[in-house]
Amino acid sequence: MRLIPLLFALVVAAACSDEKNSESLPPATGISGDMYLVMDSLQWEGPLGDLLDSVFNAEMRGLPREEGIFRTHWVDPRKLNFILKQRRNLVFVTTLDGRGQGASVLRKLYNPESLEVIKTDTTIFFTTKPNLFANGQEVMFLFARTEQELIDKVGRHSQRLIEYFNRTEITRLSKSLMKSGRLKGMSAWLHENYQADLLVPFGYKLVERNPEFVWVRQINPRDDRDVFIARTPYTSQDQFTKENLIAFRNAVCAKYLFEDPDLPDSYLVTETEIPFVPVEARPVNFNKHYAVELRGLWRTNNKSMGGPFVGFALVDEAAQQFYYIEGFTFSPGREQREIMRELEAILSTFRLSTEIARYPPDKAAP
CATH number at residue 345: 3.40.1000.10
Amino acid in the structure at residue 325: I
Lowest mean pLDDT among 9-13, 122-126, 313-317, 351-355: 9-13
Better-predicted residue by pLDDT, 10 or 127: 127
Q: For residue 67, is pLDDT > 60?
A: yes
CA distances from 284 to 184, 203, 293, 304 (A): 30, 29, 6, 32
Residue 317 is predicted with a pLDDT of 94
Better-predicted residue by pLDDT, 357 or 100: 100
Q: 207 with 315, same domain?
A: yes
Tell me, what DSSP letter sits at residue 50? Answer: H
Buried b / exposed e over 59-77, threshold 16 CB at 10 Å, is ebbbbbeebbbbbbebbbb
Final residue belonging to a domain, choices 128, 159, 177: 177
Asked if residue 4 is part of any domain, the answer here is: no
Final residue belonging to a domain, choices 148, 177, 206: 177
Could you list the residue range(s) of the whole structural domain that residue 274 is in?
186-356
DSSP 3-state helix, strand, coil percentages of the chain (rounded to 5)? 35, 30, 35
Q: For residue 14, is pLDDT > 70?
A: no
Q: 75 with 119, same domain?
A: yes
Q: 232 with 329, same domain?
A: yes
Q: For residue 8, is pLDDT > 60?
A: no
Closest CA to 261 of 200, 323, 215, 327: 215
Q: 169 with 196, same domain?
A: no
Q: 326 with 231, same domain?
A: yes
Residue 5: pLDDT band (50, 70, 90) is very low
Q: 134 with 204, same domain?
A: no
Number of domains in the chain: 2
Q: What percent of the chain has pLDDT over 90?
A: 77
Average pLDDT, the chain: 89
Average pLDDT over residues 94-101: 94
Q: 245 with 130, same domain?
A: no
Residue 359 is predicted with a pLDDT of 55
Residue 302: pLDDT band (50, 70, 90) is confident
Q: 345 with 198, same domain?
A: yes
Q: For residue 10, is pLDDT > 90?
A: no
Q: How far is the first Cα of the chain from the last one, in angstroms, to the nearest whole number?
A: 25
Residue 18 is predicted with a pLDDT of 42
Residue 293 is predicted with a pLDDT of 98
Contact by Cβ (8 Å): 313, 286: no
Q: For residue 366, is pLDDT > 70?
A: no
CA distances from 282 to 60, 242, 290, 293, 360 (A): 15, 9, 11, 5, 31
Average pLDDT over residues 37-48: 97
pTM: 0.87
Lowest mean pLDDT among 15-29, 67-81, 270-284: 15-29
Asked if residue 243 is part of any domain, the answer here is: yes
- Torsion 341-347-349-355 (CA) sign: negative
Q: 72 with 167, same domain?
A: yes
Residue 361 is predicted with a pLDDT of 59
Average pLDDT over residues 6-19: 38
Residue 304 is predicted with a pLDDT of 83
Residue 158: pLDDT band (50, 70, 90) is very high
Residue 258: pLDDT band (50, 70, 90) is confident
101 contacts: CB under 8 Å, gap ≥ 6: 40, 78
Better-predicted residue by pLDDT, 82 or 362: 82
Residue 180 is predicted with a pLDDT of 85
Q: For residue 19, is pLDDT > 50?
A: no
